[in-house]
A and B are shown apart, each in its own frame.
Chain A
Amino acid sequence: MAEAFAKFKESFVFNFIEGARWKYITNGLLVTLKVTFFAVLIGLVIGVVVAMIRSSFDQTKDEMQPGLGKTFMTELNAIAQVYLTVIRGTPVVVQLLIGYFVIFVSSTNTVLVAIMVFGINSGAYITEIIRGGIMSIDRGQFEAGRSIGFNYVQTMRYIIIPQAIKNVLPSLANEFIALMKETAVCGYIGLMDLTKGGDVIRGRTFSAFMPLIAVALIYLILVIFFSWLISKLERRLRSNER
């Protein structure tokens, strides 16, 4: 037992302490958190906007008077549809490589490219989650809002979206967690995220166990921590229900 422990300790020191290799893990963790955080922000903004376009078009297309407004909405809806189809229809690794080598060619800021790609990618999934939330709110609420003199944006802002967000919070949390783990493919464009940091250690020490298990544990701890945070938030939001 003591021998196994000594061996474990030796391997730990060799993998993380020697040559300050733990820095690959901490720096990588920072990059992973940075990419995830800003990607989620971008994704939320895109998601709310596109979900509003999609759901209001679906709900009002039959009643809209033909004219400039209707043409405009139809165009917007078509663009949103194309966006959703393309982003959800291609793997995120391919999108990342396209983003890096084709779209943001002139950008030398790799972190920014990763944030944009993951933000745009996540936006598509968040759109569908939030659209589900908006659709789940009874139409009567919308009509009530309009009839007391709110305009469309105000009705959305004060009545529909707050309720919708509460309904979709579990799915949003799910998307956030999935996104954090998806960023593990950042290494493809030479970004030193958590997974890549572990990979570099593995390439230096040629031991598979320590770096891989350490990286896996850190992801797991992160996910457990964020799930706990979100469940707290959920409870807070439900406090007005009784």
Chain B
Amino acid sequence: MKKIIALILCLTVCAVCFAGCGNSPDPGENTPKVLKVATNVAFPPYEYYENEKAVGIDIEIVQAICDKLGYTMELSDMEFGSIITAVATGKVDLGFGAITITEERAKSVHFTTSYSTGIQSIIVKEDSPITGVDDLAAEGIKIGVQQDTTGDIYATDQFGEDHMARFNKGADAVQALVTGKIDCVIIDNSPAETFVAQNQGLKILPTAYAEEAYGFEMSYDNEALYNEVNGALEALIADGTVQSIIDKYINAN
């Protein structure tokens, strides 16, 4: 009996192997051009999963650029901190994820024209004694951030290492705030509003922490692709497509 089962297992494995071989892509003439893109799909409303599909402002804009240029988008979902490294090392053609244009980052990657702006907000519990940015410097205050975001970088510079609690996802930081492990979360305003809407007992402080501009990033090595994509993006900004996508996700009032 055991031998029979072993035989069946072996045959199954073989069958799977052969099936795998058969499916290997056949590079023909009609292969569409592929634009490899990377983001961290955990940042509503810029990118998040809905019905097992990645959606959001950034993704629709990049899709629009691909449609305009005749590319097929191939998305990989990675950690936020890895996106810029992936672009700089040429693993992907384009990286996005509500990424703020900063001088430091521009040394490694070529930013496109800015397509949107955001502000860094501070989320606290409703009964929190924290009322403004100055309160964050107090002894023992833990600031939750998504690792490598501008919220992380600015807060580390301003308040120092001892205040920081870095999470892989913004949602994890918010969860830690809800359970009282940290005192506040600094994150971009749009996801902040989504998180506050999803969790009871949280509020956004009226004072913004920082204002910034978002851009897509590409490699300095492929100038032709950069010009092509940036041109398409500028055209989409000019004809109002980008604005209508943003309005669709963020209520304009």
Inter-chain contact B148/A190, CB cutoff 8 Å: no
Known interface pairs A190-B144, A202-B85; A196-B165 also in contact (CB < 8 Å): no
B153 touches A187 (CB 8 A): no
B125-154 residues at the A interface, CB under 8 angstroms = 142, 144, 147-148, 152-153
- For residues 33 through 90 of chain B, which have their beta carbon under 8 Å from a beta carbon of chain A? 80-82, 84-85, 88-89
Q: Given A188-B168, A190-B172, A208-B89, A203–B179 Cβ distance below 8 Å? A: no
Are B167 and A206 neighbours in the complex by a CB distance under 8 Å? no
Residues of A within 8 A of B107 (CB): 206
A207 touches B85 (CB 8 A): yes
Q: How far is the CA of A192 from the CA of B145 in the complex (A)?
A: 13
Q: Report Cα–Cα, A187/B166, bound state, in Å.
A: 8
> 1/0 contact trace for A196-214 toward B, CB 8 Å?
1001101110111000000
Task: Pick from B88, B161, B165, B176: contact of A206, CB below 8 A.
Answer: B88
Contact B166 A206 (CB under 8 A): no
* Alpha-carbon distance between A200 and B144 when the two chains are bound, in angstroms: 14
> Other than the known A101-B179, A107-B181, A187-B166, what 12 A-B pairs have Cβ atoms closer than 8 Å?
A100-B176, A100-B181, A101-B175, A101-B176, A187-B147, A188-B168, A192-B164, A199-B81, A200-B81, A200-B147, A204-B153, A206-B108
B-to-A contact residues, CB < 8 Å: 80-82, 84-85, 88-89, 104-105, 107-109, 142, 144, 147-148, 152-153, 161, 164-168, 172-173, 175-176, 179-182
Q: How far does the Cβ of A223 sit from chain B's closest Cβ, in whole Å?
A: 25
Report Cα–Cα, A157/B168, bound state, in Å: 46
Which residues of B sit under 8 angstroms from A199, Cβ to Cβ?
A: 81, 147
Q: Can you name the residue of chain B whose Cβ is closest to the Cβ of A101? A: B175
Given A101-B175, A106-B180, A190-B144, residue A208 in contact with residue B85 (CB < 8 A): yes
A-B contact pairs, 25 of them (CB 8 A): A100-B176, A100-B181, A101-B175, A101-B179, A105-B180, A108-B142, A108-B181, A187-B166, A187-B168, A188-B172, A190-B166, A190-B167, A192-B164, A196-B166, A199-B81, A203-B80, A203-B152, A204-B148, A206-B85, A206-B88, A206-B105, A206-B109, A207-B88, A207-B108, A208-B85
Chain A interface bracket (under 10, 10 to 19, 20 to 34, 35 or more): 20 to 34
Among A27, A188, A190, the one with the most B-chain Cβ atoms within 10 Å of its Cβ is: A190
In the complex, A108 Cα to B144 Cα: how many Å? 12
Q: Which residue on A lies nearest to B166, using beta carbons?
A: A190
